[in-house]
Amino acid sequence: MKKKGFSQKHKPGFPNSDALYSWYEKQFKLQNGCCYYCETSIDLINALIAKDLLKTRAVRGDGMRGPSLEIDKLINELGYSPSNCVLACYYCNNDKSYIFPPDQYKRYLGPSRSKLFSDLALELNKR
């Protein structure tokens, strides 16, 4: 992840962008580069994106959602802080949104998303 994408303005529970970036790097290692919810590696997700098996979403400027793990709050009311955040793939983060409690999403929907990504991975060798 590029350091320029870290903004304290958007994640006020971190004292500055350096602290946010440092937390991200540590959390990425702790989660082995995988989504907290579906436990799929960002490397596999990027391989699926590269082969057009997954779509991304463009955002303002030259940004794109999909190719990197995103910071997700576990409990919305507690805001962004190192103890209340995990890294999630765009697909789980967008799907979970504010609709599902994190523990329910991880338990019930995360495994289904993981299965989908695993099935799509079988297509990588065919293309």
Q: Tens digit of pLDDT for each residue in 15-65? A: 888 888 999 999 999 999 999 999 999 999 999 999 999 999 988 777 889
The rounded mean pLDDT for the chain is 89
**Would you give the distance in Å from CA 83 to the centre of its chain?**
16
Q: Which CATH architecture has domain 13-124?
A: 2-Layer Sandwich (3.30)
Locate the domains of the chain by residue range. Answer: 13-124
Residue 4 pLDDT exceeds 70: no
Residues with Cβ within 8 Å of 102's Cβ and at least 6 positions away in sequence, in order, are 37, 72, 74, 75, 86, 96
Q: What is the pLDDT of residue 6?
A: 56
